[in-house]
Amino acid sequence: MLQFLQRPLSLPFVLTIFLFFTWISLHFHTAFKASSSSLHWTTIHDINANLLRFRSGIPSNILKDECGWLLDPLSLASASGISGGAITCASIHAGEIRPGKLRGNHRHHDCNETLVIWGAMTRYRLENNKVPHKRYGEVTIGSDDIIVAASPSGTAHAIKNIDHIRSTFFLGCQDNVISYNVSSTDFNVWKDL
Ligand SMILES: *[C@@H]1O[C@H](CO)[C@@H](O)[C@H](O)[C@H]1NC(C)=O
Ligand SMILES: *[C@@H]1O[C@H](CO)[C@@H](O)[C@H](O)[C@H]1NC(C)=O
C-alpha cells in the first residue's frame, strides 16, 4: 500500500479520496448547522406567531398509531396555552393552497380563528404588535410539520405556499359565521407577500 502511494500515478487517487472526505465533512457540517439554527429560529418565531408545531414523522406526539397523525386543534391549543383562537366552531373551512399561491392576508373583526396547516413548505404570518418594527410574527412550516395556530379577532393572518411541488392544506375553525364584507374584514393587509 505504501509503495503504491509513493508512486506518482497514485496522486490523483489520493486527491480523489481527500476531496471525497472534504465533501462528506462539509455536507454534514452544513446539515447540522441548518437543523440546529432552524430549531432555534423556530421556538422564538413560533411564539410570536402564536402557534404549536408538530412533526408528522416519528417521534411525534400527534402520531396516535401507524395510520398517521390525528389531532383535535381546539383542545391541543387550550392545553398548550395558545390563546385567542376559537373555543367552538360556528363555521369551518377546509382548503388547498397550490404552490406559489396565497390565502388569507386579511383581518377578521367578527371572529376568532384556529387554523391547522400542513402539507408543504409554507409561510405563515400573524399580526403581532409585540414584535418591534415588523408588527407580525412569521414562520416557515416544513412539509413534514403540522401547525395549530390561533388568530384572535382583529388580527391579520396570511398563508403562503412557498413549495415548488406540494399543496398546502388548511382547516380553519371560526367562532362566528364569517361574512366577507367590507366592514367585517380588511383585505390585502400586507403588500410584500
Ligand atoms: C373572541 O374571543 C374574545 C376573547 O376571548 C371573546 O370576547 C369574543 O366573544 C370571541 N368571539 C368573537 C366573535 O369576537
Ligand atoms: C357585514 O357583516 C356584518 C357582520 O356579519 C354585518 O353586521 C353587516 O350588516 C354586514 N354589512 C353589509 C354591508 O353587508
Predicted confidence (pLDDT) per residue in 91-128, tens digit: 999 999 999 999 999 999 999 999 999 999 999 999 99
Shared domain check, 105 and 83: yes
Is the model's pLDDT at 12 over the cut of 70? no
Shared domain check, 43 and 112: no
Q: Is 137 exposed, middle or buried (0-12, 13-18, 19+ CB in 10 A)?
A: buried
Shared domain check, 110 and 42: no
Atom of ligand 2 nearest to the CA of 177: 5
pTM above 0.75, yes or no: yes
Residue 53, C-alpha cell as written in the block? 408545531
Shared domain check, 153 and 67: yes
On whether residue 193 sits in a domain, the answer given is no
Shared domain check, 29 and 66: no
Shared domain check, 12 and 69: no
Question: What is d(CA 193, CA 185) in angstroms, rounded to the nearest whole number?
Answer: 18
- Point out the ligand nearest to the CA of residue 78: 1
For residue 91, how far is the Cα from the chain centroid? 24
Residue among 109, 175, 185 to mutate when testing ligand 1 (max atoms within 8 A of CB): 175
Shared domain check, 70 and 114: yes
60 lines ligand 1 (CB under 6 A): no
- When divided into structural domains, the chain yields a total of 2
Atom of ligand 2 nearest to the CA of 110: 4
Contacts of 12 (CB under 8 A, 6+ apart): none
CATH number of the domain within which 117 lies: 2.60.120.10
Q: How far is the CA of 110 from the centre of ligand 1 (A)?
A: 8
Predicted confidence (pLDDT) per residue in 134-153, tens digit: 999 999 999 999 999 999 99
